[in-house]
Amino acid sequence: MPRIVVVMRQADGTETTRVIEKARWLDGESLQSLALDEGLRIGGACGGMGLCTTCRVEIIEGAESLSRLTREEKDFRAQNLLKETERLACQCSPTGDVTLRYDP
Ligand code: FES
């Protein structure tokens, strides 16, 4: 079962951490959905369609444990709107442990 560590950077510069460890895991469930199940809202302006980048997260560890880039993510990277270390939480799903950071 993948373990997701979520580091949230607060406005005052401090960081808080939450760990998501679910007993039941849907294959292909997005990071955004998993976080929301734990009460963490990561973006979502476009309803998880990969169109807005409000769910952008920085992957600190475990990038290799995420599903492949979607066409939408590749398009944003090509436009320099998504860094190499970033993913769209609505577009990727974990297959192993991942640590990510975002600004809530
Ligand atoms: S919620 Fe809009 S791109 Fe993910």
25-49 burial, b at 16+ Cβ within 10 Å, e below that, comes to: eeeeebbbebbbeeebebbeeeebe
Q: What is the mean pLDDT of residues 2-29?
A: 89
- Residue ranges lining ligand 1, Cβ < 6 Å: 43-46, 48, 50-55, 88, 90
pLDDT digits (tens, 9 = 90+) for 28-53: 899 999 999 889 999 999 999 999 99
Please give the number of the atom of ligand 1 that sits closest to the Cα of 72: 3
On whether the pTM is more than 0.85, the answer is: yes
- Please report the domains of the chain, with CATH numbers, ordered by start residue: 4-102 (3.10.20.30)
